[in-house]
Amino acid sequence: MMRFSRWVILAAALSLPGALLAQSKPWGIDPGRSTMKDVRSRIGMPSVIKFNAAGEEVWEYNNNPNGFHAYRIVFGADNVVKSARRMRVDADRLQIKAGMTSKELVGIMGEPSLIYFIRNRLYWEWRLHYFGNQRHRLVAEFDEDYTLKSTALIGAQYRGSGTTHGYGGVTP
């Protein structure tokens, strides 16, 4: 019995780097090798195409493929993928601070999924996974000068369950 458990632990330990590597390469995109043509054929056209401060072309796939994941792919001057990463992860969310401009916020989170006004206040919303694989919405409230006033993390309702999960609160 002891040998069996050692083999199980060893197999799990060996599979972990492969699982982490698969997460670091969305859709099999390999930075330094994959080209724009490869990305377009595997994923399709991005939601947003823009250029960063260094003049590199940036493709964003907002809320793809299932509505709560977003990816940012940066291309070098040779049209080869320079970097590809999942956006709207906890590390991104923790960079958000009150007083940021909308441009700074888009630089971190990408284009919002939804924009709306309530009582003459501007709100932006992103869909994301938080606390593992639970679906949430991050709502940003802007003040009269269109600077970030606060954010709230709101649990999304799961289809058919009739329940809502909520965590977090409002960041000052």
* Tens-digit pLDDT profile for residues 136-167: 888 999 998 889 999 998 876 555 544 444 44
- Considering the domain architecture, whether residues 72 and 100 belong to the same structural domain is answered as no
Q: What residues pair up with 155 in beta bridges, in sequence order?
A: 136
* Mean of all residue pLDDT scores within the chain: 77
* In the predicted structure, residue 23 carries a pLDDT above the cut 50: no
pTM: 0.67
- Considering the domain architecture, whether residues 43 and 80 belong to the same structural domain is answered as yes
Q: Is there a domain that residue 9 lies in? A: no
The band of 17, judged by pLDDT with boundaries at 50, 70 and 90, is very low
* Tokens 């399709």 -> residue: 44
- Considering the domain architecture, whether residues 69 and 47 belong to the same structural domain is answered as yes
Strand order in the sheet with 148-155: 114-118, 121-130, 134-142, 148-155, 170-171
Sequence-ordered list of residues with C-beta below 8 angstroms from that of 103, at least 6 positions apart, any chain:
none
User: How far apart (Å, rounded) are the C-alpha atoms in residues 122 and 61?
Assistant: 24
Show the domain range for 95: 90-171
The pLDDT of residue 25:
65
Q: Is there a domain that residue 8 lies in? A: no
Q: Are strands 48-51 and 121-130 parallel, antiparallel or unpaired?
A: unpaired
**Span 96-137, pLDDT tens digits:** 999 999 999 999 998 888 899 999 899 999 888 766 667 788
Q: Is there a domain that residue 33 lies in? A: yes
Report CA torsion sign: 83, 84, 87, 91.
negative
- Considering the domain architecture, whether residues 94 and 153 belong to the same structural domain is answered as yes
- Considering the domain architecture, whether residues 74 and 116 belong to the same structural domain is answered as no
Report the share of the chain in percent with pLDDT over 70.
69
- Considering the domain architecture, whether residues 45 and 79 belong to the same structural domain is answered as yes
Q: Are strands 70-75 and 81-87 parallel, antiparallel or unpaired?
A: antiparallel
Which of 55, 87, 119 terminates a domain? The answer is: 87
If one counts every other C-beta atom within 10 angstroms of the C-beta of residue 148, the result is 20
Whether omega before 172 lies within 30 degrees of 0, making that bond cis, reads: no
* In the predicted structure, residue 171 carries a pLDDT above the cut 80: no
- Considering the domain architecture, whether residues 124 and 136 belong to the same structural domain is answered as yes
| CATH code, domain with 151 | 3.30.1450.10
* In the predicted structure, residue 91 carries a pLDDT above the cut 80: yes
CB crowding 48-87: b at 16 or more within 10 Å, else e: eeeeeeeeebbbbbbbbeeebbbbbbbbeeeeebbebbbb
If one counts every other C-beta atom within 10 angstroms of the C-beta of residue 25, the result is 14
- If one counts the domains in the chain, the total is 2
* In the predicted structure, residue 168 carries a pLDDT above the cut 80: no
Q: Is there a domain that residue 36 lies in? A: yes
